[in-house]
Amino acid sequence: MTALEPQPDGCFAPVIAVSQTRGDLILVCEHASNSFPAPWGDLGLGPDQRQAHIAWDPGALGLMQALARRLDASTIHATVSRLIYDCNRAPDMPGAMPARSEIHDVPGNANLSDASRLARTRAVYLPFHAALHGMIAEQIAQGRRPTVITIHSFTPVYFGQARAVEFGVIHDADDRLACAILALAKAQTDLICGLNAPYSAADDVTHTLRLQAIPYGLVNAMLEIRNDLISTPAAQEAMADRLAPVLAAALAQMTEA
């Protein structure tokens, strides 16, 4: 690997699904996939590692799609593992192409050359953000004001520590929507909720919001669901049933503001 890493032939475009009702909500799932396509392959990871939370956010794609059906949202999701390129990280952030994730070394990411980092940025990061930018700018051009919400999941045990939080709401510079969602989730569900938990913007996890929503002054937030609560399609649907009314009510408050 490293300097000899083969170069991709093309780009690994994200998948977009546009609301059929012209809904103004855009849901984003940067960590939807645990696909390790050629030319990168498995990065030296075993099957268990490629299934684990280090490779993707298990359950997040299904939850996002279940929410989109209930909220008439448009969606976009990445199609390669975050370990090949994490689209929620700028190319210079350590987590963009990490050589180590939690307690796992990622052999195929050790000592990446500038050429390899550049190739992955071109193949994965730039097409993802160009596509999302297009979704946002095209809505704005038509007089609409999209809301951007990123959908993530987190592992129940991290560095050996159990996490009590079940539902985290994270904000960047604009906390309006995050605070509204948190208050409503506490009032309307029995989920154990946390603001800026288990991560916060200080951990560089709000790159998509900062790049895509903040420059346009768009209402935005990042959601984190503990992945043991959304491990099956049925659980994802059930969680969407709990969260969709919360999100709808929070969005209605934004419209009124």
Tokens of 237: 């649907």
Specify the residue, 141 or 162, whose C-beta has the smaller distance to its own copies: 141
Nearby residues of 159 by Cβ (< 8 Å), 6 or more positions away = 102, 103
Q: Which residue has the tokens 């900062």?
A: 210
Smallest distance from the beta carbon of 120 to its own copies, in angstroms? Answer: 8
Smallest distance from the beta carbon of 117 to its own copies, in angstroms? Answer: 5
Specify the residue, 54 or 218, whose C-beta has the smaller distance to its own copies: 218
DSSP H or E stretch at residue 169? strand 167-170
Specify the residue, 45 or 213, whose C-beta has the smaller distance to its own copies: 213
Smallest distance from the beta carbon of 138 to its own copies, in angstroms? Answer: 6
Specify the residue, 91 or 156, whose C-beta has the smaller distance to its own copies: 91
Smallest distance from the beta carbon of 48 to its own copies, in angstroms? Answer: 30
The answer to whether the bond into 198 is cis (omega within 30° of 0) is yes
List interacting residues with its own copies (CB under 8 A). Answer: 90-92, 114, 117-118, 120-122, 125-126, 129-130, 133-134, 137-138, 140-143, 145, 207, 210-211, 214-216
Smallest distance from the beta carbon of 129 to its own copies, in angstroms? Answer: 7
Smallest distance from the beta carbon of 163 to its own copies, in angstroms? Answer: 29
Specify the residue, 137 or 164, whose C-beta has the smaller distance to its own copies: 137
Tokens of 27: 């849901």
Nearest alpha-carbon partner for 152 in 205, 93, 79, 213 = 205
Cα angle 154, 160, 163 (rounded to 5 degrees) comes to: 45
Contacts 24+ apart (CB under 8 A), 111-116: 111/2, 112/1, 112/2, 112/5, 113/2, 113/3, 113/5, 115/3, 115/5, 115/7, 116/1, 116/2, 116/3, 116/5
Tokens of 229: 């609560």
Specify the residue, 126 or 249, whose C-beta has the smaller distance to its own copies: 126
